[in-house]
Structure 1
């Protein structure tokens, strides 16, 4: 990901420096309150490193995970996804149900007092058939009536957010605008709300001009590691695509109903590709 003066919040380093900042949780607490649309301030959070790794990079999917609990026992899971993930809702359910099972297995609960579980997905791309950038989902009846709010799924799709600075009012809109645009914004064109304390502290953590030599070295290491993970993932995708092409061409050749040229055109590959597979089949017979 290209980086200018400010490191992107949605990068691995940026996510850790802001959402995952254990020494200063003001940004995280305010962001969580905005994401769940609560009027009640979150005054404390502690990071849960038992149920989940507090901050991890999953090179297979580009996800950054964070789990924490507030002063009332409410559980929060925050996940970031940069690439296209059409089935990300299934991953959200997996994490939420894992957390639910963890709470139940401890045996320190009754059904009337189960803690609230909020699973929050922040996605660079769109995955839902909805128009709004922020979606809150609970268990509902066929008539849309709320059945249960103990487990809540929240999705933010950055690609759907298109508000201009002049139209931004809520903390949620300020958060999403910052996540989407900070790394592309000229420092001389600050929106006024970036001077609000919760955002100012987070932005300062991402300002490359204010980084210590140790922070610069760490940022370089994380960036290099992330680049290697992306490179490895692209290679796996290429190999998977090629394997699929080989299987498709092989089936077509064995059926013997199409010409080499027709197989190449239908499979989206070159004639030489088909001929190489044909030679391999002949050799193995």
Structure 2
């Protein structure tokens, strides 16, 4: 049995990074991620659900959304499965966080930076260069010079991080190594190097979870496994090109059935979208029904 929680589950990810009592873990990770650029002294968690600007506009629900003491807006997302338009999705999320900064009345369009950090537990074919970290900025096409720091998207492609424990040279690499492997650890590495990993070990120890936390984690694990199995089956079925139309219809029905079951269990719409590949409007329609 695993000793530490799986950070790739929706509940596990937010348990590690999305609580007031673990805020220092998130600050530590972000400071290591952006080392040499800026330092976060404190941050505030914000409402992760952004309502549409018009009555019929769809809502945007972030995994974790916060602002730093300097006013930077940070969106942190964990994605377990490839989506056709994932880069567009991250751009859409980032843009919404920019748009909501608009002010009524006199306003000179001054904005605070929006950074979106995406953990990818897969390789995204849309990222042409196979590397672990990809930073997207608004830059001049000819010179490559960034024209503003107010929009930035960072992709961390976990399967492309291949360093072993002894090869991690700094705390950022140690963070990635731990997050990628912690659900199979018997002990937490690097605790002697940085106290933040001791706290991570304490907060993620499965035996230390309350009964309620354990139930939520178990449900999150079940959903992750069930939907991974469904995804693998869909890929296998996809080889039968002669049954393409019927296959797509059947897969859609199966996804909707999974989504309905998840709604009955009170799971978040954002998590259901992630696990089934259905868009938010489809899931909200199922919820209304």
Q: Structure 1 length normalisation: TM-score? A: 0.70
1:79 aligns with 2:66: no
Aligned-pair CA distance for 1:41: 2.9
Deviates more, 1:229-238 or 1:75-84: 229-238
Q: 1:171 to 1:195 in 2, by over 3 A?
A: closer
Aligned to 2:117: 120
Is residue 52–residue 67 contact of structure 1 (8 Å, CA) maintained in 2?
A: no
What do residues 25-57 of structure 1 show as CA deviations (whole Å, max 9, x unaligned)? 01111112223344543122111116549xxxx
Structure 1: stretches of 5+ with no match in the other structure: 54-62, 250-285
Secondary structure, in 3 states, of the residue corresponding to 1:30? helix
Secondary structure, in 3 states, of the residue corresponding to 1:121? strand
Distance 1:109 1:241 in 2: 55
Aligned to 1:174: 174
After the TM superposition, which residues 155-194 of structure 1 pair with which residues of structure 2 at under 5 Å, given as runs?
155-187=155-187, 190-193=188-191
Distance 1:241 1:47 in 2: 44
After the TM superposition, which residues 260-275 of structure 1 pair with which residues of structure 2 at under 5 Å, given as runs?
none
Aligned-pair CA distance for 1:153: 0.8
Aligned to 1:136: 135
Is residue 80–residue 122 contact of structure 1 (8 Å, CA) maintained in 2?
A: yes
Aligned to 1:206: 204
- Name which one, 1 or 2, has greater alpha-carbon Rg: 1
Is residue 8–residue 14 contact of structure 1 (8 Å, CA) maintained in 2?
A: yes
RMSD: 3.2
Distance 2:205 2:182 in 1: 10
* Number of aligned positions between the proteins: 235
Structure 2: stretches of 5+ with no match in the other structure: 52-60, 248-289
Q: Structure 2 length normalisation: TM-score? A: 0.70
Is residue 65–residue 80 contact of structure 1 (8 Å, CA) maintained in 2?
A: yes
Distance 2:87 2:97 in 1: 15
